[in-house]
Amino acid sequence: MIRFDTRNKKPKLYDLLPLTAVVVALILLFGRDVPANQRLICWVLGAYYAAVILRLAVAFRGQLQYNPYSYNTILYSGFALFLLSVLITHSVLSFRMLRYPEVYTRNELPHLVLGSAKNYILLSSPFLLLFSAALCVSNISLIRHEGKRLVNVLGILLSLLLVAGFVFIYAFDYAVSGSERQVMIHDLITNICAAVYLYFECMLIGAIIADVIAACYEPEPDKDFLIILGCGIRKDGTPTPLLRGRIDRALAFAQKQRQQTGKDLTFVTSGGQGPNEVIPESACIKRYLIEQGVPEERIIEEDRSGDTAENMRFSKEKIQAIDPEGKVAFVTTNYHVFRGGLCARRVKLRAVGMGSKTKWYFWPNASVREFVGLLTEHRLKQGLVFGGLILFYVLLTLLAYR
């Protein structure tokens, strides 16, 4: 099992740059359209894709060991899946090129790369359709239990966008006629749309992978402090089922640690008082802990925070005032662990999260909210990616149709 926070050095992918340069040089050097060179280029590109996939997998594992709550975790897993599709497509085309060299030439390679996004979308369409259907079902159940609110239909909206985008790309792709220039422009638009769609699909799959790993992880039983992140409480000041699940998860971990190591930990109850709450969430959590037999001296109350980022920042101040070297974990609902870890790392709090269970219909819609929030927080990166995609496809299209 991979353990979090066991590596002090961040994984880098700089070694892919010289490898890419060597591959490009070989393609340029042996670019003549002869059977022997075709075979060489096919083998080189296949080996290159496989090496990059392996490197991304190693980087993904290293990222989990260094900092599992990172945007890189999503990037590495999502694009490893994308390159796997490129490798499959390349392998099929290479087989055809080697068997029928007079039909399939090296001029097909740029078209292969251009069409890889559409191929990936087609291969992943069963997942997309099942995922979209599951989102709709869970959202309908959520609306029935929680009421009609905009945040409760995000999953339905996302599922409609996924299906509509898939239909548009393939319907638009087959509606083309005219001169070579018109066909080239049409293909450019289609491939850019497919690439943008694919980018979000990769991020969605990567986010699901990161969320599941973070939610299922069990921290080492050696913690000094355990932060319990607050959420809404009832009108009478008692915890809601969602909050009670977090507290019970914290109590179960503390008991397990005491049984295995004999070490007690200190609970940090974190959460301020909302406009419709009679007491701070931290006070509600503290009262519940005391009712369950936790001594008051083992509870630290943080009652100023209004969101997850403040939960982590103000809890860190409380912890460091007592023991700056103490080992820290935090508890939240399963779908929120990854985002909670992101907030902790932003305030330089090295804390490992654990998730409490929630109702099945609540997790998918909440995960969509977390995914949208993650993307909006990295708007600059999204802009750079989109700009790079457009530039790449423009240059490659000009090369393919030259």
Nearest C-alpha neighbor of 41 from the set 105, 137, 134, 123: 105
Q: Which two tokens stand for residue 130?
A: 């099942």
CA distance 350 to 72: 17
Q: What pLDDT was estimated at residue 51? A: 95
Do the beta carbons of residue 383 and residue 351 sit within 8 Å?
no
CA distance 29 to 246: 61
SS3 276: coil
Q: What pLDDT was estimated at residue 34? A: 60
Residues in the chain: 402
| Sign of the CA dihedral with 29 first, then 33, 38, and 41 last | positive
CA distance 305 to 61: 33
Q: What pLDDT was estimated at residue 71? A: 84
**How far from each other are the two terminal CA atoms of the chain, in whole angstroms?**
51
Nearest C-alpha neighbor of 304 from the set 238, 230, 208: 230
Taking only the tens of pLDDT, the chain with its 402 residues reads 688 888 888 898 999 999 989 988 887 787 665 666 777 888 888 899 999 999 999 999 999 999 999 888 988 988 888 788 778 877 877 787 777 776 666 666 677 778 778 877 887 788 888 888 888 888 888 888 777 777 678 788 888 988 898 888 888 877 667 677 888 888 888 888 888 888 888 888 888 888 889 999 999 999 999 999 999 899 999 999 999 999 999 999 999 999 999 999 999 999 999 888 999 999 999 999 999 999 999 999 999 999 999 999 999 999 999 999 999 999 999 989 998 999 999 999 999 999 998 887 777 777 777 777 777 777 787 788 778 888 888 888 887 776
SS3 267: strand
- The domains of the chain are located at 16-217+377-400, 225-326
CA distances from 361 to 145, 147, 153, 280 (A): 9, 13, 12, 28
Q: What pLDDT was estimated at residue 133? A: 87
CA distance 4 to 220: 9
Q: What pLDDT was estimated at residue 349? A: 95
CA distance 336 to 249: 14
* Greatest extent of the chain over all pairs of C-alpha atoms, in Å: 81
Q: Which two tokens stand for residue 196?
A: 């943008």
271 sits in the region (left: phi over 0; alpha: psi -120 to 50; else beta) called left
381 HSE (CA, 13 A, CB side):
11
Q: What pLDDT was estimated at residue 391? A: 86
Global pTM reads 0.83
CA distance 279 to 401: 68
Q: What pLDDT was estimated at residue 175? A: 66
Q: Which two tokens stand for residue 174?
A: 């087959």
SS3 8: coil
Q: What pLDDT was estimated at residue 31? A: 62
Do the beta carbons of residue 309 and residue 223 sit within 8 Å?
no
Nearest C-alpha neighbor of 69 from the set 246, 225, 217: 217
Nearest C-alpha neighbor of 318 from the set 295, 290, 351, 353: 351
